[in-house]
A and B are shown apart, each in its own frame.
Chain A
Amino acid sequence: MGEEIPAGRLATLESNAREIRRDIIRMTYAAGSGHPGGSLSVTDLLTALIFHELNIDPAHPEAPERDRLVLSKGHAAPALYAALSLRGYFPREELVTLRQLGSRLQGHVDRHTLPCVEASTGCLGQGTGMAVGMALDARLAHRPSRVYAVLGDGECQAGATWEALMAGGHYHLSNLTVLLDRNGLETDGSTEALMGIEPIADKFRAFRYHTIEIDGHSFPEILNALDEARRTKDEPTAIVARTVKGKGVSFMEGKHAWHGKAPNRAEAEKALAELGGTLEASTP
């Protein structure tokens, strides 16, 4: 297993994740649309990547040696924006402009408008392919950059996801890590009721991935898995992170209806009370 993670580091990650969750609620409430459920489920994974694992620096967002993060489930844009803003990539006041005309915060992530958004995504099944291309590029250029693709589980029904995963395994891309936000729910209901993707970990193994199954809301487990991925040679790593859709907001948890629906004012206030905040953005 990985090294002991200092308690202070874990507490900081927990507190950042809470702030990001509060921002997701504020943003989707202000926008009146968006995807809170899958943003809340992926929050801990993104927090671990952006505040711990990735070799990135807001002062040098274009540094060629940086690690790349591709949010293949581009609808979880609110979570990525909140995390990047908290990390110092752009002003936090901008968060509430999500989905507004003229805003840099597009409904699905756009690499041209914000730093550290490495690929524009949104139509599912394409992010992993782009991540594979980036990993091939880094290897060909002998750059130490590592590439992280964050997938949704509904996206695992898309054939192109498996094309891309097949390529990652075929090319032995040890600089590629795929994280699956396995919250079990998509727009219309449970993945297993709609088009089952299980046994998903076995599928990753069959596609030649070093595969790790974790609780996607446990920072010790996430950090250890990322550490293991970094030390894995000759094959890419897949981290199957079991998560809860809507995590952190009791009335959203496990409800597919919150995939693509924004909270109204009362719901937002209730959610924020549970997350220890108010509609007004707090300062970190």
Chain B
Amino acid sequence: MSATLSPARSTAPRPRATRLPGAARLAGVRAGVELRQFWRERDSVVFIFAYPVLMLAIFSTVFGSEEQGADGVSIDYAQYFLPGMIATGIMLTSFQTLAISIAMERDDGTLRRLRATPLPATSYFFGKVLLTLATLIPQTALLLVVAAVAFDVPMPSDPGRWFTFAWVFVLGTACGAVCGVGFSSLPRSGRSANAIVTPVVLVLQFVSGVFFAFFALPGWMQSVASVFPLKWIAQGMRSVFLPDDLVALEPSGSWQHVATAAVLAAWLLIGLVVGARTFRWRRRDDG
């Protein structure tokens, strides 16, 4: 520690007018930092990428001989199950991962340290969004490849269906991300974050047509699930990957694209407002 430091600003006169780095560039810097940290936490990397694939493999193998269906329409189990797994992957990576990681970063002082720098909050959040996309896109691609190759799930060839896939994916991810930011203020500590966030996602998975066929659930459960985004993301994904006649199995008798967009957009707005109002840079016990 014997080295001397040169003065803060090396050019004279003091360039007070030096421009602050742009928010977009800093979002890129943050995304780089986030990705490095993400890749170094090996267990969570494995979990993020393997979980949806593993669940698809287990469920499709166990129930592989059964067809899903009622009222004269039916479908191979893996094909019915795939949209739910895509939806749950979106929810896990956007909502659950963000809610837990932000709660942990609040607890360990990352947020407090960033708050003391000129880094804009928007760059922090966009860094998170970029990390979410950087993990979610390969994760979903892997799931689709495994489904197509190992379980012979037919991929749609109609561009219209891929367009539906794109907007449900983007809107669902955005919705999950902002809700994750909002939810991150709820756990009192980083350690309790897992225990508070995980059950929420787990319950939603059971009632939203991810683990069980949505049409087979009791009506009241369907109604409860309809309040939350996961059911709509899963339904949107079913409209992409299931044949048209399967629409008969939807409780409403339609894919409800407009309602899907509306519900997801509403949650996006609620998440933004709640997130902006409740976001804290510091732990609660910090006062």
- B partners with A: no
Chain B residues close to A by CB (< 8 Å):
none
